[in-house]
Amino acid sequence: MGKTFFKCLGIFTLVIIIDQISKYLGRGLPTLHYNEGVIFGLYSDIPSALRIIALTSISGFIFFIYTVLIYMLSPRLAILKYGISLFIGGIFGNVIDRTLIGKSIDFIPFNIIPGIEITFNIADVFQWVGAGLILYKIISKEKIIWHPENQRGKLLLYSDEQVKFASKLTAIVVSCSLIFGIFSFTYFRTLLVEVGLLNQKYFITYLVAYIFLSLSFALVVFISGIVLSHRTVGPIFAFESFIDDLIEGVERGEFSLREGDNFRRLEKVATKIKTHLNSK
């Protein structure tokens, strides 16, 4: 993982810290407003427990996809990665509020249009800035993102090894999910017994939601494992093809890997091998 990856995580963390500090200071302002909805005040009539569970579960998916995305994107797209970090950090800033107190804290008024007043927070500002950077870079760096020359021909280059890697990664995630599932099941069952709210329908709802989320996340992890393994097996595949061409006497230029590939040392090894063969 390069410096850009950790810079992105730093931006993500800094956004959350700044947002939470601003909300702490904003609680004393007369413009303070609590937003109980999910997005722009929508779905405020949904039970708070359901909102919290839905938001935290979805946030887990978003964070996982975010880390994979900033790892896989080309190093030349650093600004795009920073924009994504701002956007996701802003989302998590509001998710933290809704998880801890069941509602988001807004304190910055916006009422340029007569009769319409909107109140937002610093996390929203980071989301807007991040979305703007993302949109700008997608348009300005369209060739880097979408051009066929930046794509490999096949996702499964060594299918057996890649599937094994993805399966092992998924097995680890499923095992962790099972441990947390047993813990949460035991905790909530004990809590419901203590407060006298033990009801079979609660456990059925929990079980269905747990199985659905676990299977969905396992699928996402497996696909991500295939994609991540491609970054590793790609250089090996390219190096193997280069050696085969040298053995068969096929004239080739210098061996070079794609931007962001692992095993960059293979370029030096290929150069040594080619130089040695040419000297004979």
| Identity of the residue numbered 172 | I
Contact assessment for residue 246 and residue 274, using Cβ atoms and an 8 Å cutoff: yes
* Cα atoms in the Cβ-side hemisphere of radius 13 Å centred on 99: 14
**CA dist., res. 136 & res. 142, Å (int):** 10
Catalytic residue among 19, 97, 124, 261: 124
Using only the alpha carbons of the chain, give its radius of gyration.
Answer: 25
Cα–Cα distances (Å) from 62 to 104, 182, 231, 268, in that order, read: 19, 24, 21, 38
> Any idea what the Cα angle at residue 159 is, between residues 155 and 162, rounded to 5°?
80
**CA dist., res. 271 & res. 60, Å (int):** 44
Contact assessment for residue 31 and residue 107, using Cβ atoms and an 8 Å cutoff: yes
Contact assessment for residue 62 and residue 88, using Cβ atoms and an 8 Å cutoff: yes
User: Is 106 annotated in the active site?
Assistant: yes
Alpha helices in 32-158 (DSSP H): 48-72, 78-100, 122-140, 142-146
- Tally the residues of the chain: 280
Q: Would you call 66 helix, strand, or coil by DSSP?
A: helix
Catalytic residue among 19, 45, 97, 106: 106
User: Is 261 annotated in the active site?
Assistant: no
Cβ atoms within 10 Å, residue 56: 13
**CA dist., res. 224 & res. 230, Å (int):** 10
> Which tokens hold the place of 153?
């021909």
| Catalytic residue positions, numbered | 106, 124
